[in-house]
Structure 1
Amino acid sequence: MINFQEWGNLFLNQIVQTSIIEWLAVGFGISEVLLAKRNNIWLYPTGIISICLSMFLLFKVNLYAETLLNIYYLVMSVYGWIIWKKRKEDNGVQVSWSSTAEITIALLISFAGFGFLYVVLKRFTNSDVPIWDAFVSSTAWAGMWLLAKRKIENWIFLNISNIVAIPLFIHKKLAMFAVLTTILFIVAIFGFIDWKRIYNKKKLDPAL
């Protein structure tokens, strides 16, 4: 039987012991996803700060795939920043649904990424959660790739990653990261709805 009071006390204790670096990483992470929800380009510089702080923390608790994921986030953030800025200057289509080819690529990123990360974590690291760490990272890889291309489905892939990441962070005693991921999960639902609205509005009036 699950002792919710014990879990609650453990979680509160983790929050009390949260470092200033984790608080900052979470704060900038929340700002990033709120800006993404609003389709605002400033999500990228804000996210870069959160990513750099997160890499330091994740490496300390042996979440190696998550650390690699954040390196990927860093690269994709720079890539996405450039693409978003260029499209804004060119007045191009900003938000759209993925093509069949793009969904196929996203799925390949997820499956191939999972296989690669699992093997690396299992054979070359002391990770005690290779399956879950690999899964969270590989699905988020696909989501970030779609986010950089402003594809609506990015929210789906990111939330598949988020729903598994929440208990993973609790297991690793990163309470505030679990809170952040829960917030990201909720905001991503609204982000999906908002991006659909933006796309439909743009489709009805291309001049917008």
Structure 2
Amino acid sequence: MNHWLQLFIEQIKETTWLQWLAVALGVTEVLLARVNNIWLYPAGILGTTISIYLLMDVHLYAESVLNGYYVVMSVYGWIYWVKKRNEPPVKITYSTKNEWIISLAISIVGWVVFYYMIKNLPAKYFTPSNVPGWDALVSSTAWAGMWLLARRKMENWIFLNISNFFAVPLLFYKHLPMFGMLTIFLFIVAIWGYFEWKKQVERGQLKA
């Protein structure tokens, strides 16, 4: 236990100001999202852009691609919010059998694609990753979770937390302790989100 505590303290000491800034922006985004404040988007875009640079630096290529997708979706969400913020939100529902199949397909096929891409990245431009399978797993399950989140499906929290669960040790292994702590925070938020959404679904069913 002392060994792991000492290792964590050493990693914290080595944490760069860019890591601190990216994590601070990530926490800010989550807190702003909780109160439906539109400033969550610029905070998220800036924080995610910094994260891409840091993840590339430690050769987590699939997570870098995933964060690139976050940037694109944040820009889209920002524009969509401005246009549709006064309209009623899409109702939260449970996934159908077909949506479960699609989600599992995204996770499995995504893992294969990411793994293949990471293993075959041109050495001329990128340093080979030493954790291609793990990196690919974190990203592919997050892709499935984001697809379900866009459709307002309860199960998005399950897939996102599978991604978070595997991301935590990976980030600590890559000496990104603050990113690891942020992911633990997001893991807890996702559990809270699941039960909050569950209450909304149950309230909707009672009204029906």
Range of TM-score over shorter length:
0.7 to 0.9
Work out which of the residue numbers 178, 184, 187 in structure 2 matches 1:185: 187
Kept in 2: contact 1:22–1:57 (CA 8 A):
yes
Structure 1 residue runs of 5 or longer lacking an equivalent are none
Q: Kindly provide the CA deviation profile for residues 56-107 of structure 1, in whole angstroms up to 9, marking residues without a partner as x.
A: 1101111111101111122233344455666643324343222333222222
For residue 134 of structure 1, what is the aligned residue in structure 2?
A: 136
Q: CA deviation at 1:28?
A: 1.9
Work out which of the residue numbers 86, 91, 98 in structure 1 matches 2:88: 91
Q: CA deviation at 1:41?
A: 5.9
| Aligned equivalents of 1:115, 1:57: Cα separation in 2 | 24
Match of 1:26, SS state, is: helix
| Aligned equivalents of 1:99, 1:77: Cα separation in 2 | 26
Alignment of 1:68-147 (within 5 A): 68-82=65-79, 88-124=85-121, 126-147=128-149
Q: CA deviation at 1:154?
A: 1.1
Kept in 2: contact 1:80–1:147 (CA 8 A):
no
Q: 1:192 to 1:82 in 2, by over 3 A?
A: farther
Q: Kindly provide the CA deviation profile for residues 23-77 of structure 1, in whole angstroms up to 9, marking residues without a partner as x.
A: 12112222333455x3736444432222111101101111111101111122233
For residue 26 of structure 1, what is the aligned residue in structure 2?
A: 23
| Aligned equivalents of 2:96, 2:37: Cα separation in 1 | 23
Q: 1:33 to 1:96 in 2, by over 3 A?
A: farther
Residues paired across the two proteins, number = 202
For residue 49 of structure 2, what is the aligned residue in structure 1?
A: 52
Give, as a single letter, the amino acid of the residue that structure 1 aligns with 2:184: T
Q: TM-score, normalised by structure 2?
A: 0.86
10-19 or 89-98, larger mean C-alpha shift: 89-98
| Aligned equivalents of 2:95, 2:35: Cα separation in 1 | 17
Structure 2 residue runs of 5 or longer lacking an equivalent are none
Identity among equivalent positions (%) equals: 52
Work out which of the residue numbers 158, 170, 176 in structure 2 matches 1:168: 170
Computed over aligned residues only, the root mean square deviation of the Cα atoms, in angstroms, reads: 2.2
| Aligned equivalents of 2:80, 2:96: Cα separation in 1 | 18
Kept in 2: contact 1:41–1:81 (CA 8 A):
no
Higher relative contact order (CA 8 A, sep 6+): 1
64-73 or 196-205, larger mean C-alpha shift: 196-205
| Aligned equivalents of 1:78, 1:99: Cα separation in 2 | 29
Q: TM-score, normalised by structure 1?
A: 0.86
| Aligned equivalents of 1:183, 1:111: Cα separation in 2 | 26
For residue 200 of structure 2, what is the aligned residue in structure 1?
A: 198
